[in-house]
Amino acid sequence: MSQPDEPTTGGTERRIGVYICHCGGNISDYVDVEAVREALKDEPGVVVSESPVFACSDGTQHDMIDDIRAQHLDGLVVASCSPKLHQVTFRNVAKRADLNQYAYTQVNVREQDSWAHQHDRAGATEKAIGLVRAGVAKTRLSDPLEPLRIDTVPSALVVGGGVAGLRAAIGLADLGIQAVVVEREATLGGWVGRLGATFPDDTSGADEIAGLVEQIKARRDITVYTSAELTGKSGTFGNYAAELTLHRDDGDKVLTVGVGAIIVATGFDSYLPDVGEFGYGIDGVVTLPEFKELVDAAPSGQLSYAGRRVRSIAYVYCVGSRQPAGGNEYCSKYCCTATIHASLQVARLDASVRQYHLYRDIRAYGRNELLYNSSREAGSTYLKFADDQPPAVAKLAGGGLGVTVTDLLTESRELTIPVDLVVLVTGMVPRENAGLTAVLKLPVGSDGFFNEIHPKLRPVETVVDGVMIAGCCQSPRTVGESVAAGLAAVAQSAALLKKGYAELEPLVATVDPARCIGSGECLTSCPYDAITRIEWDGRSIASVDPATCKGCGGCVPACGQDAIDLLGYTDAQMRAAIEGLIAAEPVKEAVS
Amino acid sequence: MAVVPDPAGATPRILVFSTINISDPGIDLAGSRHLEYPATVQTMAVPCSSGLKPSWLIHALESGFEGVFVASDGEECAYLPDCAERTAAIISRAQAIMSERGIPASRLKMAALCSVCAEPFANYMREFSATLLALRPTAAVA
């Protein structure tokens, strides 16, 4: 900790504290931390330079707070680990010392320096000097910003009344958040509500949905609208006005509900093969959902199709999945296990049915592997075909169907298997949701499913504040995985709404009215409609709504007048940081 | 793989523009896995590669960086569905300016980098460094 002294200007108005962390030895074993501190101590604006052993320790945090107060610091730079780990920690240090938290810059000299250059101490040290110098340059030009504080209402809208949406609604209500469920269909339950036994535990999907619906009926804090859609959204995060259109026999009715968050759980559609694709359209060739309906409805002891007893079945896997570029390139990951499970149902109905599974790869992961083993023990035969040699399905001259396949596991022999029924194991495809996508401005990936911010670290949040996605509208997944995502969205919603207010990052785009000539180039660059025209000083210019702006900066290069800046990444800051990075000279080892 | 220390400044200096949510975690992971690449590679993270100004890329090249590498989100961008196309357009605009100023287009490179693309990043850096080294005048190399 530095000793208090009289403020000095040092040739600049800013007073910045720089802390270069040893991280035990994680940084200092590979970077000459003292040389970095020495190089930075006379940088314009730097009035405190320290090199703590652990910057994140309680003791060092207190020292920083003391320095900020004693030295009247108005900027803070910590060179340590990735901002993903400790940016919030040091922003809080700044807040505790009454320093604007956006006058803090974290510099990554561990993951992106010491750990990557363990055999180049001089190089890693020179790099660290440049990185810290760039951080100081950005901090020197930082503006004091405040998070946008938004009051929130303790209610949430759930779009989609399938298993993920219904379970999420109950979860919200359990946490004291009013839930409104809007379902496009006339009945609740989605795909799961139409299923009999489901894997992994044979529970009936219809029974599970019925149980959830009973719970919802018994609660006053959940409202459900069926045959209804979300058709409009206004207001801002924390207090959206959601416009619902209810399709009723006597015409559409529109009502508006106030909600703080929105959970989208609109599910999926099943892939529908083209006529002729693997014989689809021939009598006796069905998709997986059609087959499951047949099996669930079958009376004990016998499986029939169109009034004919089924004695043999061929399952053709990966229909509509893992297609070449331009098609559905992804794996739907539930269909292998769903098919294996259905074949076990068939074996229980009639053990004499011959079952042939024609597959590219079996992806019955985790404990679903046990179902795969059980199906083999129950008599199912598995035949593996090559990616470029898919089976062919045709009607046999003597009646019935023939599936021709080259079996890689039996000397690549070509076999024609006569069967009564062919099941095309179809995967999931994104549901048609153009209206909803437009209303919520949801980002859609190249596969057509909705995009989360990060598939692992922020798996249910979208870039639209307060709008979460959950379940198969994100990507193919199982019932359990969909429900888990729904409950994750509940937890995220509660974290946003239970405080009664929320804070948004102020790092948004801003327009310099003096530079803007009103060309309108930026207006079409924002898919979130955050930029509008306003009248300013007798001229039409662009204006950014900070509560709607997502902070991507996509509008910045669209402006031919350089009139738009992204706060935290302004033109001046970026240029100064680049100059800071390149300014470092080769260093000599500090004498310790 | 260890990178031979090169404190004399003979290794090209490269500025990488990464994205906070996707490619920067991939670069972090390269470090966490101790995958070494030249220490002359420095990184600046921005929210989205579609927000980069061509003038920043040019400024880096004219300030002393021999190469600029844009580690974009590609199709994983959470902000903009057309992020890859937008970033490619920014690169094209920058390369047009570079051409006017006599800077070889190959000093600016763009590639999509995912949040776990640690090895691809280290490989990109080694390859780009070699490319930039080959661009140097023969006398400077000798």
Beta strands A539-544 and A531-536 are antiparallel
> Residue B7 pLDDT more than 60?
no
Under the banding of pLDDT at 50, 70 and 90, the label for residue A237 is confident
Six-digit token pair at B30?
């390269």
> From the list A115, A455, A578, which residue is nearest B60 (CB)?
A578
B13 interaction partners in chain A (CB closer than 8 Å): 582
In terms of pLDDT, which residue wins out, A153 or A235?
A: A153
Domain that holds residue B32: 14-137
Percentage above 70 pLDDT, chain A: 96
Nearest chain A CA: its distance from B133 CA (Å): 17
Chains A and B: how many Cβ contacts under 8 Å? 171
Query: Whole-angstrom Cα distance, residue A431 to residue A416?
Result: 36
A318-322, A382-386, A452-456: least confidently modelled range:
A452-456
State the best of A111, A447, A561, A585 to mutate against chain B, taking most chain B CBs within 10 Å. A111
Cα–Cα distance measured from residue A125 to residue A254, given in angstroms and rounded to the nearest whole number: 64
Determine the distance in angstroms separating the CA of A258 from the nearest CA of chain B, rounded to an integer. Answer: 25
List of chain A residues whose C-beta atoms are within 8 Å of the C-beta of residue B11: 123
- Say if A155-267+431-502 and A270-428 have the same CATH topology: yes
Contact B7 A574 (CB under 8 A): no
Judge: A112–B28 Cβ closer than 8 Å, yes or no: yes
SS (H, E, C) A107-125: EECHHHHHCCCCCCHHHHH
CB atoms within 10 A of CB A9: 11
In a domain, B88, yes or no: yes
Residue B67 lies in a domain: yes
Q: What is the pLDDT of residue B2?
A: 45
Q: According to the model, what pLDDT value does residue A587 have?
A: 45
Q: Taking CB atoms and an 8 Å limit, are A112 and B27 in contact across chains?
A: yes
Residue B142 lies in a domain: no
Model confidence pLDDT, tens digit, residues A540-587:
999 999 988 999 999 999 999 999 999 999 999 999 999 999 975 544
Model-level pTM? Answer: 0.73
The predicted structure's pLDDT at residue A584: 57
CA separation, residue B41 to residues A112, A200, A422, B11, B129 (Å): 9, 49, 57, 9, 9
- B-chain residues near A506 (CB < 8 A): none
Pure H helices in A81-196: 83-96, 121-140, 163-174
Q: Mutate which of B15, B17, B80, B129 to test chain A, going by most A C-beta atoms within 10 A? A: B80
Residue A150 has pLDDT above 90, yes or no: no
**Which of the residue ranges A424-428, A450-454, B138-142 would you say has the lowest mean pLDDT?**
B138-142
Contact yes or no for B47 and A111 at CB 8 A = no
User: How many residues in total does chain A contain?
Assistant: 592
Q: How far apart are CA A461 and CA A452, in angstroms?
A: 5
Q: How confident is the model at residue A442 (pLDDT cuts 50, 70, 90)?
A: confident
Domain regions of chain A by residue span: 16-144+575-583, 155-267+431-502, 270-428, 509-567
Q: Scanning every residue of chain B, which has its alpha carbon at the shortest distance from the alpha carbon of A551?
A: B47
Distance between CA atoms of residues A253 and A246, nearest Å: 5
To which residue do tokens 């009598």 refer? A283
Q: Identify all chain B residues contacting A108, using CB atoms and an 8 Å cutoff.
A: 28, 43
Note the pLDDT of residue B23: 92
Question: Would B117 be classed as within a structural domain?
Answer: yes
pLDDT at B8: 52
Residues sharing a CB contact under 8 Å with residue A526, sequence separation 6 or more, in sequence order: A549, A554, A555
Nearest CA in chain A to B65: A582
How far off is chain A from B81, nearest CA to CA, in Å?
Answer: 6
CATH (one of 3.40.50, 3.10.20, 3.90.320, 1.20.272) for A16-144+575-583? 3.40.50
Mean pLDDT (whole number) for B124-136: 95
Count the Cβ atoms, other than its own, within 10 Å of residue A80: 26
Q: Please answer yes or no on whether B31 and A126 come within 8 Å at the CB atom.
A: no
**What is the mean predicted confidence (pLDDT) over B43-70?**
97
Element (H, E) at A497: helix A479-497
B15–A581: do the CB atoms touch at under 8 Å?
yes
Q: Which CATH number fits domain A155-267+431-502: 3.40.640.10, 3.40.50.140, 3.50.50.60, 3.40.190.150?
A: 3.50.50.60
Nearest CB among A122, A451, A557 relative to B51 is that of A557
Q: Would an 8 Å CB–CB cutoff place B88 in contact with chain A?
A: no
CATH code for position B43: 3.40.50.960
β-strand partners of A359: A384
pLDDT at residue B9, as a whole number? 59
Q: What is the ipTM of this complex?
A: 0.93
Q: What is the mean pLDDT of residues A337-345?
A: 98
Identify residue A240 by its one-letter amino acid code: Y
Q: What is the pLDDT of residue A9?
A: 36
The mean pLDDT value for A413-437 works out to: 96
| Neighboring chain B residues of A577 at a CB cutoff of 8 Å | 44
State mean pLDDT over B39-61. 97
Average pLDDT along chain A: 93
Across A266-279, average pLDDT: 97
Q: What is the pLDDT of residue A547?
A: 85
The single residue listed with the structure tokens 């331009």 is A326
Top pLDDT among B60 and A325 is at B60
- Residue A5 has a pLDDT of 43
CATH number 3.50.50.60 is the correct assignment for the domain at A270-428: yes
Q: What is the mean pLDDT of residues A420-440?
A: 95
Choose the closest CB to B42 out of A131, A446, A453.
A131
Q: Which residue of B has its CA nearest to A453?
A: B78
- Out of B30, B41, B79, whose CB is closest to A554? B79
Q: Residue B138 pLDDT > 80, yes or no?
A: no
What is the DSSP secondary structure assignment for residue A545, as one 8-state letter? -
Q: Is B40 on the interface with A (CB under 8 A)?
A: yes
Per the CB < 8 Å rule, is A554 touching B48? yes
Tell me if B3 is assigned to some domain. no
Token pair recorded at residue A161: 């009344």
Tokens of A547: 């509560």
Q: Which residue of B has its CA nearest to A589?
A: B7
Contact A566 B47 (CB under 8 A): yes
Pick the CATH number of A509-567 from 3.40.640.10, 4.10.93.10, 3.10.580.10, 3.30.70.20: 3.30.70.20
- Straight-line distance from the first to the last Cα atom of chain B, in angstroms, rounded to the nearest whole number: 26
Distance of CA A186 to the CA centre of its chain: 29
Question: How many angstroms separate the CA of residue A143 from the nearest CA in chain B?
Answer: 17
User: If you measure CA to CA, which chain B residue comes closest to A450?
Assistant: B78
